[in-house]
Amino acid sequence: MPGYELWSDKERKEVNDVLETGILMRYGFDGPRKGIWKAKELEQAICETFGSKYAQLTSSGTSALTTAMSALGIGYGDEIITPSFTFVASFEAILSVGAVPVLVDVDDSLTLNPQAVIKAITPKTKAVMPVHMCGSMADMDALVAICREHKLILLEDACQSIGATYKGKSLGTIGAAGTFSFDFVKTMTCAEGGVVMTNSEDVLVKSDGYSDHGHDHKGADRGADLHPFIGYNYRISELHAAVGLAQIKRLPEFLSLQKKNHAQLKNIIAQIPGVTFRRLPDPAGDSCSFISWFLPTAEITKAVVAELKAQRILAGNFYWFDNNWHYIRKWDHLKNSVTLNALHPELKARVMEQANKDFSASDAVMSRCISTAISLAWTEEQIKEKGEKMASVIKKVLSEQTAKV
């Protein structure tokens, strides 16, 4: 997910525009900013690029999720169904609005299993939050249908899937709201930043106010703004927005390189008997930031990971099953509900329920999965070398395991 890999004069120019005026804040200072409004420009570009009616920039993907949840009226006592494989930010945001994260199994798409979602629905369920992991999509037809039938809000965590689509629509623009992260390792970056995308004016107005202390932003005098509700400070700065503005103009270039490198490497890995790939509900919509592949058993997968490590070629290959950030197995802080400030005892108990759930269906998928991150900086030669080294490790382990049987 590497926008930063192609840092250029274009990013420097946009940042310099802001440095020249010295107005680093996105609101106010209309005179001295001399017509430079990078955050506004980036919001407009996001709407045009991804086909969203409205966009509200925030300081991070995590704050974009919290802002979207608040704007959608998600709060105390509401249950949000979300997957066991995601980044910790997804449940952090749910907890930040006082709601209950209800984690459920993923399937071989590495995203929400629609049947697991249906089973988890209770009278308290308010929203379903698919997480489009590793550059690709959840089964949106199934999830849209479930949300319609049960009158639930669909909020997309598309933080990892900038540039991916489902049946022609950008991920993050299909639900009531969707978010991207523009942190340093995403397909396009602001260094730090995020966005809430929505087609609802109401959600936009609430996101706009919530992310800036509840300001109504109706006049040019910030001091005279009214505060129709209590908000928070999740503002992006003009400097961060300037970086994003350069990067969004280069997104087609990033995506086409990403797809080219992905295709070349996948072609090598696909020739190894025993390797299969993540199921993509719409293969044409993959952003190609990762190749996620499966081996026949957990034992073989662990042996491949160990051999990649021994041969010093593990870097860029992620075994999420053992990863501290992305999979329920290692989230002891969530399962024990360890927080710095006291949670309401009822919420604490609900959070701790995650510890006693059966995630064997997720384990069966995740224990066999390795995701290989795609770099934009690779040359064809480097991809060939990387692919061949990976292939030789996988074949070696597979033949050793077959010999054991």
Ligand X SMILES: Cc1ncc(COP(=O)(O)O)c(C=O)c1O
Q: Provide the minimum distance between the beta carbon of 277 and ligand X in the complex, in angstroms, as a whole number.
A: 20
b (16+ CB within 10 A) / e for 375-404: bbebeeeebeebbeebbebbeebbeebeee
Q: Which is nearer to ligand X, 102 or 398 (CB)?
A: 102
247 part of the interface to ligand X, by CB under 6 A: no
Coil, strand or helix at 232:
coil
Tell me, by CB under 6 A, how many residues bind ligand X.
Answer: 14
Candidates 118-126, 140-148, 153-161, 240-248 — which segment interacts with ligand X by CB under 6 A? 153-161
Q: Provide the minimum distance between the beta carbon of 310 and ligand X in the complex, in angstroms, as a whole number.
A: 29
Among 56, 62, 261, 367, binds ligand X (CB under 6 A): 62
Q: Provide the minimum distance between the beta carbon of 334 and ligand X in the complex, in angstroms, as a whole number.
A: 15
Q: Could you give the CA distance from residue 187 to residue 255 in angstroms, rounded to a whole number?
A: 8
Among 56, 66, 67, 90, binds ligand X (CB under 6 A): 90
Candidates 29-37, 82-90, 119-127, 362-370 — which segment interacts with ligand X by CB under 6 A? 82-90
46 part of the interface to ligand X, by CB under 6 A: no
Q: Which is nearer to ligand X, 49 or 181 (CB)?
A: 181
Candidates 3-11, 116-124, 154-162, 267-275 — which segment interacts with ligand X by CB under 6 A? 154-162
Q: Which is nearer to ligand X, 292 or 300 (CB)?
A: 292
Cβ-contact 215, 27 below 8 angstroms: yes
Coil, strand or helix at 386:
helix
Q: Which is nearer to ligand X, 112 or 131 (CB)?
A: 131
Binding mask 103-142 for ligand X (x = CB under 6 A): ----------------------------x-----------
What is the helix, strand, coil percentage profile of the chain, to 5? 45, 15, 40
169 as an active site residue: the answer is no
Q: Which is nearer to ligand X, 318 or 386 (CB)?
A: 318
Which residue type sits at 66? T
Q: Could you give the CA distance from residue 110 to residue 278 in angstroms, rounded to a whole number?
A: 7
Structure tokens at 129: 């939050």
Binding mask 165-204 for ligand X (x = CB under 6 A): ----------------x-x----------x----------
Among 52, 60, 198, 301, binds ligand X (CB under 6 A): 60
**Window 352 to 381, contacts with ligand X (CB under 6 A):** none
State CA 231 to chain mean position distance. 24
Cβ-contact 189, 3 below 8 angstroms: yes
163 part of the interface to ligand X, by CB under 6 A: no
Candidates 60-68, 284-292, 314-322, 337-345 — which segment interacts with ligand X by CB under 6 A? 60-68
The string of DSSP letters for 244-303 reads HHHHHHTHHHHHHHHHHHHHHHHHHHTTSTT-EE---SSGGG---SEEEEE-S-HHHHHH
Using alpha carbons, select from 320, 261, 307, 310 the residue that is nearest to residue 287: 261
Using alpha carbons, select from 129, 132, 145 the residue that is nearest to residue 81: 129
Candidates 85-93, 224-232, 308-316, 383-391 — which segment interacts with ligand X by CB under 6 A? 85-93
Candidates 37-45, 58-66, 112-120, 383-391 — which segment interacts with ligand X by CB under 6 A? 58-66
Number of H helices, E strands in the chain: 14, 13
159 part of the interface to ligand X, by CB under 6 A: yes
Q: Which is nearer to ligand X, 254 or 304 (CB)?
A: 254
87 part of the interface to ligand X, by CB under 6 A: yes
Helix (H) or strand (E) holding 314: none
State CA 162 to chain mean position distance. 8
Q: Which is nearer to ligand X, 280 or 390 (CB)?
A: 280
Q: Which is nearer to ligand X, 327 or 394 (CB)?
A: 327
The residues pairing with 83 across neighbouring beta strands, listed in sequence order, are 104
Could you say which of 126, 186, 206, 335 is catalytic? 186
Using alpha carbons, select from 44, 37, 48 the residue that is nearest to residue 14: 37
Cβ-contact 243, 190 below 8 angstroms: yes
CB atoms under 10 Å from CB of 277, counted, come to 15
- Residue ranges that bind ligand X, judged by CB under 6 A: 60-62, 86-87, 89-90, 131, 157, 159-160, 181, 183, 194
Which residues does the annotation mark as catalytic? 186
